[in-house]
Chain A
Amino acid sequence: MVLFLRRIGMRAFKFLAALGRASALWWSAMRWLPRLSELNLLIRQIYNVGYLSLVIVVLSAFSIGAVLALQFYTQLARFGAQEAVGVGLALVLLRELGPVVTALLFAGRAGSALTAEIGLMKTTEQLSSMEMMGVDPLRRIVAPRIWAGIISVPILTAIFNTVAIYGGVVVAIDWLGADAGGFWSGMQDVVDWWEDLAKGMFKSLVFAILVTWVAVFQGYDSEPTAEGMAMSTTRTVVISSVLILASDFLLTLVMYGDF
């Protein structure tokens, strides 16, 4: 029993220590805004985490939009309300699925890569040699990656939403034959740019911070062994997915909860 309690205590301390290290990492990396001379680093990272995630985001968005439209259509057609597909599609995508699925994909595609990259740099002692040369690795390696994530995820979310709605249009209007006029006007009537679009984009910003923070920290904090890196990469995906879903619930509660 005592052993058990001790183990729990150890775990709690370990968790607190990790949180402390993560906060310290965030603070020392994000203390400065990126300088103009570091712009090429930032652009390179946006290319790595954002541009290269485009393919998976676009493909998933199209399928998700198409599948949503198909499900909405078959159910709504029973009430003769096929035109409401547009409203349902837009609200579900802008408010929830767009930000959440994009962030999950980003965690799997780019977050894991970030962890592996920084972890390998640590394992091969590139980070310590940088320090030796008087270059701050936090500033040169960590900060541009975090900024790139924060910039890329909202952009990816916007692209995701657009493509998903296009996928829905292809299925509902072009294939199943819902009325295009009712589809669009119903959507435009109900969807509000602040309530739905802006709040969804804000969500994606929060997810971006969470995912990149977790990914960078796990890489920076990984044990410098092959095993340690594998664990860190797994942990990045697991922790950021759980954080995304949990914080999504909280954000929805705060933003849309009517109480």
Chain B
Amino acid sequence: MRARTIEISVGAFVLAGLLSVIYLAIQVSGVTAASEKEHYQVLARFDDVAGLRVRGKVSMAGVTIGRIQNIGVDMEWGTAVVTLDIFGQPGNLTTDTSAKILTEGILGARYISLMPGADEEFIQNGAEITDTQGALVLENLIGEFLTNLGES
């Protein structure tokens, strides 16, 4: 009987541990089917992506419609190449969609905001967004401001 109680207690203990892990994964870290959600890839070139992080948000009108999958650099042109995972099937973004790097709040994380265009054709999987605007870098802004100040 005693051995039986021990076995049951240990079983309950291990089960509680497993349930905790599942709870932590689902409720706390938010693992959902979202990671396997259907998506396709779009490229975007930026002059500057300072502060942008992989797994950051891609949003349109403030709604998250994708994630940043990879950030690389094209040495030849000196531009950053960002790979975006857009949820859904190709056919929801027009070819003249524009991309901007914005900041959430004053100190928040950088994310990419897409502005819909008016074209008839849609961006295909692996295509590139051409109309882009990079991150605003404070030092560059101050630099420009000082040069302007000096000229005038």
Using a CB–CB distance below 8 Å, which chain A residues touch chain B? 40, 43-44, 46-47, 50-51, 54, 90, 94, 151-152, 154-156, 158-159, 161-162, 165, 184, 187-189, 191-193, 196-197, 201
CB distance from B55 to the nearest CB of A (A): 7
Inter-chain contacts of B17 with A (CB < 8 A): 154-156, 158-159
10 A-B interface contacts by CB (under 8 A): A43-B7, A47-B13, A151-B14, A158-B20, A162-B23, A188-B27, A188-B29, A188-B30, A197-B21, A197-B28
B4-26 CB contact bits vs A (8 Å, 1 = yes)?
Answer: 00110110111011001101110
User: When the two chains form the complex, which single residue of A159, A184, A197 contacts B25, counting CB atoms closer than 8 Å?
Assistant: A197
Which residue on chain A has the smallest CB distance to residue B15? A155
Using a CB–CB distance below 8 Å, which chain B residues touch chain A? 3, 6-7, 9-10, 12-14, 16-17, 20-21, 23-25, 27-31, 55
User: In the bound complex, do residue B55 and residue A192 qualify as a contact, i.e. CB atoms below 8 Å apart?
Assistant: yes
User: In the bound complex, do residue B6 and residue A193 qualify as a contact, i.e. CB atoms below 8 Å apart?
Assistant: no
User: In the bound complex, do residue A94 and residue B24 qualify as a contact, i.e. CB atoms below 8 Å apart?
Assistant: yes
Inter-chain contacts of B27 with A (CB < 8 A): 184, 188
Inter-chain contacts of A192 with B (CB < 8 A): 29, 55
CB distance from A173 to the nearest CB of B (A): 13
In the complex, A58→B66 CA distance in Å? Answer: 39
User: When the two chains form the complex, which single residue of A43, A94, A193 contacts B10, counting CB atoms closer than 8 Å?
Assistant: A43
Known: A43-B10, A193-B29. A158 touches B21 (CB 8 A): yes
User: When the two chains form the complex, which single residue of B7, B10, B31 contacts A50, counting CB atoms closer than 8 Å?
Assistant: B10
User: When the two chains form the complex, which single residue of A40, A156, A158 contacts B24, counting CB atoms closer than 8 Å?
Assistant: A158
In the complex, A157→B16 CA distance in Å? Answer: 11
In the complex, A162→B16 CA distance in Å? Answer: 10
Which residue on chain B has the smallest CB distance to residue A39? B7
CB distance from B13 to the nearest CB of A (A): 5
Which residue on chain A has the smallest CB distance to residue B57? A189
CB distance from A255 to the nearest CB of B (A): 16
Inter-chain contacts of B31 with A (CB < 8 A): 193
User: In the bound complex, do residue A197 and residue B3 qualify as a contact, i.e. CB atoms below 8 Å apart?
Assistant: no
In the complex, A189→B138 CA distance in Å? Answer: 27
User: In the bound complex, do residue A90 and residue B9 qualify as a contact, i.e. CB atoms below 8 Å apart?
Assistant: no
Inter-chain contacts of A46 with B (CB < 8 A): 10, 13-14
Closest 6 CB pairs of A and B: A188-B30, A155-B17, A158-B20, A162-B20, A193-B29, A191-B29
User: When the two chains form the complex, which single residue of B9, B13, B29 contacts A197, counting CB atoms closer than 8 Å?
Assistant: B29
In the complex, A161→B12 CA distance in Å? Answer: 18
In the complex, A235→B141 CA distance in Å? Answer: 59
User: In the bound complex, do residue B24 and residue A162 qualify as a contact, i.e. CB atoms below 8 Å apart?
Assistant: yes
